[in-house]
Amino acid sequence: MKNNFLSLMLITALAVIFAGCTTLDAVAQKGKVSSALNYVGAGNLDKAKEAIDAALVHEKTKAWAKTYYAVGRVAQALWEKGLETDNEKLMTKYDNQLIYAYDSYIKAIDLDKKKNIEKMIIVQLPSLANDFLTWAAMEFENENYKE
């Protein structure tokens, strides 16, 4: 009887530890999304991209609206920094970077059931529209009419 009780206690303790680890993993991944946004604010865009790329492939954060908002912010910030510093590598970290930013914002809005992220995205859209105009002018000047 005593051995059964100890076995039951051990199984319960292991279950609690496992559940705690799973919860910590989810919190850690959501922390990567927050870190990416903080890195964008601090201008550390390489670390921002690294953090958000990790969050994009994780089960707990790949369908989270804030993840896609952060993806959009990172992609847009990389493009803007590349334009500012005349660094084409920053402007092409993602394929069709501005379109990727826009698509990420739209996906964030679609996933955001409470409409909390939508307000943050609306603030970004005028800047993104200006980026698209700048990109279009650059492509026109380079006679790259297909883009």
Say how far apart CA 41 and CA 35 lie, in whole Å: 10
Q: In this structure, is residue 146 part of a structural domain?
A: no
Q: In this structure, is residue 81 part of a structural domain?
A: yes
Residue 7 has pLDDT above 90, yes or no: no
Instruction: List, for residues 11-36, the tens digit of each pLDDT value.
Output: 554 444 554 444 444 445 688 999 99
Q: In this structure, is residue 113 part of a structural domain?
A: yes
Say how far apart CA 82 and CA 97 lie, in whole Å: 11
Picking from 73, 89, 72, 90, the residue whose alpha carbon sits closest to that of residue 81 is 90
Number of domains in the chain: 1
Q: In this structure, is residue 98 part of a structural domain?
A: yes
Q: What is the pLDDT of residue 1?
A: 55
Q: In this structure, is residue 128 part of a structural domain?
A: yes
Q: What is the pLDDT of residue 147?
A: 64
Torsion of CA 34, 39, 45, 50, to 10 degrees: -40
- Per-residue 3-state assignment (H helix, E strand, C coil) for 5-17: HHHHHHHHHHHHH
Residue 92 has pLDDT above 70, yes or no: yes
Instruction: List, for residues 134-144, the tens digit of each pLDDT value.
Output: 999 998 988 87
What is the residue range of 56's domain?
Answer: 2-141
Say how far apart CA 39 and CA 33 lie, in whole Å: 10
Q: What is the pLDDT of residue 11?
A: 58
Q: In this structure, is residue 77 part of a structural domain?
A: yes
Picking from 48, 65, 73, the residue whose alpha carbon sits closest to that of residue 113 is 65
Say how far apart CA 65 and CA 77 lie, in whole Å: 18
Q: In this structure, is residue 147 part of a structural domain?
A: no
Q: In this structure, is residue 82 part of a structural domain?
A: yes
Picking from 1, 67, 80, the residue whose alpha carbon sits closest to that of residue 34 is 67
